[in-house]
Amino acid sequence: MAHQQQRNVIDQVMELLIDHGFDSMADVLKILFNEAMKIEREEALDARSYQRTSDRKGYANGYKPKTVDTRMGRMTVDIPQVRGEVEFYPSSLEKGCRSERALMVAIAEMYVKGISTRRVTDVLEKMCGLEISSTQVSRAAALLDEELEKWRQRKLGETPYLILDAHYEKVRINGSVQSCAVFTAIGVNPEGKREILGVSVSLSEAEVHWRDFLASLLSRGLHGVLLIVSDAHSGLRAARESLFNGVKWQRCQFHLQQNAQAYVPKKAMQQQVHEDIKDIFAAPDGKMAQARLKGYIEKYARSAPNLSQWMEEHLPEGLTVFELPGKHRKKMRTSNAVERLHEEIKRRTRVARLFPNEAALLRLVSAIEMEISEDWIAGKRYLNMETENESQPANSNEKRIYRNNVA
């Protein structure tokens, strides 16, 4: 039966090409695309249509029409639906959606720069090879905010690891140029995949703004947070302690290294202090890290008493990571995951230099982060969360945040 169905498809395509030539290419593409999605559904179900087999993972459940824009114009395709435990969405359509998001980012960037609709049309035609009208561009721009808001308000779930940070962008507000804080939250889910959970723009990193941002994540369903990684900004610290009381905190080791230099009394000592703190962070386990910290506190007690006191008070905040499974520590010891994301955003927003308002800033950053987050989810996992077979460290009494909470 499958062979006959494919034969019928080929016959339809041949008939269209013979009768209409290249004028029928859009219809040919639609037929082939629909057939490809049907075959993909059969592979996902591990069974052909109407086939009786014990290996079947679910059942076909009709089709749902969807209109998509292609190089051959707008067409409506029939997306195969399934029922049962299996989850299915055609990968070919996912690839098309990713291209669509990239187009949205381009539109956002050009609108922020104040480029006219006609100019945007010309640029997009060169970029994408598509003939796009000014009306289509205006419509895409109008729909952009709605889609981005839907992404920002989507439901969240269990997130063992949460990484928080902010960076600043120049925005014109009431006739003056101000630096606005862009808050970003990255999560690592139980499958080990990274995802950008939220983004927000505020006038500063005051506690009230961080509190609103973190509260919005919780209201959208964020739960199961076992560890938060961030710097020690006072506003963030206060909001975190209020809304995530009892959740373990890892202070970013990179920022700790930078902060320590303010307490080094002589420039000649800076490199040695850097190496000593690096030695603490490179310890094989938490017990050894604490022992090394104690030794360096004593080392600097006379030559740099302020540094010694600072180390005793603050460096333990950077050692929480030793309570994690060994293979999680390297990536969870700093907030570098967000820092690198901010560097990419800076690279993309550099063309704007100055945003006309907060909405324009939020629009562009959201479009960029949405695109990056979707790529992360579709890509390789960030961490291996299967820790049950990991060998115990030398100090078997060492607590493990993740293992203890998933056992």
Helix (H, G, I), strand (E, B) or coil at 211: helix
pLDDT for 91 beyond 80: no
pLDDT in the model for residue 47: 74
Q: What are the extents of the domains in the chain?
A: 2-84, 95-152, 161-378
Residue bearing the bigger pLDDT, 397 or 95: 95
pLDDT in the model for residue 79: 85
pTM of the model: 0.69
pLDDT digits (tens, 9 = 90+) for 119-137: 666 655 555 555 555 665 5
What tokens does 136 get?
A: 């289509």
Torsion angle of C-alpha atoms 271, 276, 278, 280, degrees rounded to 10 = -170
pLDDT in the model for residue 137: 59
pLDDT band, very low/low/confident/very high, at 314 (cuts 50, 70, 90): very high
DSSP letters along 284-345, please?
A: SSHHHHHHHHHHHHHHTTTT-HHHHHHHHHHGGGG-GGGGS-HHHHHHHSSSHHHHHHHHHH
Residue 196 in contact with residue 342, Cβ under 8 Å?
A: no
pLDDT for 378 beyond 90: no
CA distance linking residue 181 with residue 178, whole number of Å: 10
DSSP letters along 42-108, please?
A: HHHHTS-TT---TT---EEEEEEEEEEEETTEEEEEEEEEEESS-----HHHHHHHHHHHHHHHHHH
Q: Which secondary structure element, helix H or strand E, spans residue 141, and what is its range?
A: helix 134-152
pLDDT for 351 beyond 70: no
pLDDT digits (tens, 9 = 90+) for 136-172: 556 666 677 788 899 999 999 999 999 999 999 999 8
Q: What does each C-alpha distance from 261 to 120, 192, 272, 283 come to in angstroms? A: 48, 34, 11, 21
CA distance linking residue 185 with residue 152, whole number of Å: 11
In sequence order, what are the residues at sequence separation of 6 or more whose Cβ sits closer than 8 angstroms to the Cβ of residue 165?
184, 230, 231, 335, 338, 339, 342
